């Protein structure tokens, strides 16, 4: 039922309310109508809501509509912001809008594509994407990561994760130069800047 029809019904009801004999029945009719509309709108929203599943991701092939990172295992779908600088201060604003591409090899090329994201403690409000990589530790070998970049779609399979001390360089990974890898990096533990968690994955298609 559209808004115009609903408005017309209310106009008719307002006229009938002038008759006291109908007030009782019309009151309950209005209550019933409002409840019915609420249920219908709720059902409609559920039907329109995108189900974030691996099956749907594969069917849509990410559509190539925007640069973004999707991780079904932990329910992450966040914008990917391209940063053409390695200065820490140049990442502050971009990482409020999503996760940040650190200047490295481009997706699909041999080598490591590096993406940085914030993490936050449990219960932290989901604002400014501070929470984007809070659950990276839940990723295990075999989990999938989807990347949409410049109207192309890439699917990676997680190979493992490592933890580094703050300031420690990223070590060499298996087949670094002969395969295309995606590396996700965040602070560890979530919300604390003591260490780094690194999840690495390999391009499969």
174-178 contact pairs (CB < 8 A, 24+) = 175/202, 176/111, 176/112, 177/110, 177/111, 178/110
Q: Among 38-52, 82-96, 186-200, which is the least confidently predicted range?
A: 38-52
- What's the CATH superfamily of 54-203? Sortase (2.40.260.10)
Higher per-residue pLDDT: 23 or 98: 98
Write the DSSP assignment of 135-153 as a string of letters: TGGG--TT-EEEEEETTEE
Measured between alpha carbons, how far is residue 94 from residues 51, 100, 128, 193 in Å? Answer: 27, 6, 10, 19
Q: What ranges do the domains of the chain cover?
A: 3-48, 54-203
pLDDT digits (tens, 9 = 90+) for 4-55: 333 333 333 334 334 444 455 555 665 566 565 545 544 443 333 334 443 4
pLDDT confidence bin for 175, thresholds 50/70/90: low
**pLDDT value at 155 more than 60:** yes
Neighbours of 36 (CB within 10 A): 11
Average pLDDT over residues 59-87: 81
pLDDT band, very low/low/confident/very high, at 173 (cuts 50, 70, 90): low
Phi and psi torsions of 168, nearest 5°: -75, 135
Other CB atoms within 10 Å distance of the CB of residue 22: 13
What's the chain's average pLDDT?
Answer: 76
pLDDT score, position 19: 47
Residue 134 has pLDDT above 90, yes or no: yes
Sign of CA dihedral 67, 70, 76, 82: negative
Residue 139: CB partners within 8 Å, gap ≥ 6? 71, 73, 74, 145, 158, 161, 199
Task: Examine the pLDDT at 104 and tell me if it is beyond 80.
Answer: yes
Instruction: Give me 112's structure tokens.
Output: 């490591």
Answer whether residue 112 shows pLDDT above 50: yes
């Amino acid at each position: 039922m559209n808004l115009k029809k609903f408005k017309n019904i209310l106009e008719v009801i307002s006229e009938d309310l002038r008759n006291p004999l109908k007030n009782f029945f019309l009151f309950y009719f209005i209550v019933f109508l409002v409840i019915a509309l609420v249920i219908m709108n709720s059902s409609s929203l559920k039907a329109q809501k995108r189900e974030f599943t691996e099956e749907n991701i594969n069917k849509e092939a990410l559509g190539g509509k925007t640069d973004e990172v999707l991780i079904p295992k932990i329910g992450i779908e966040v914008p990917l912001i391209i940063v053409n600088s390695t200065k820490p201060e140049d990442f502050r604003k971009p990482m409020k809008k999503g996760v940040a591409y650190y200047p490295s090899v481009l997706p699909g090329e041999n080598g490591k594509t590096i993406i940085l994201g914030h993490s936050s403690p449990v219960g932290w409000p989901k604002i400014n994407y501070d929470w984007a990589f809070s659950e990276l530790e839940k990723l295990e070998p075999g989990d999938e990561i989807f990347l949409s970049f410049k109207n192309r779609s890439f699917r990676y399979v997680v190979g493992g994760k490592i933890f580094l001390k703050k300031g420690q360089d990223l070590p060499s990974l298996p087949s670094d130069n002969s395969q295309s890898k995606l590396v996700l990096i965040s602070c560890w533990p979530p919300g604390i800047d003591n260490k780094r968690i690194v999840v690495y994955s390999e391009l499969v298609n």
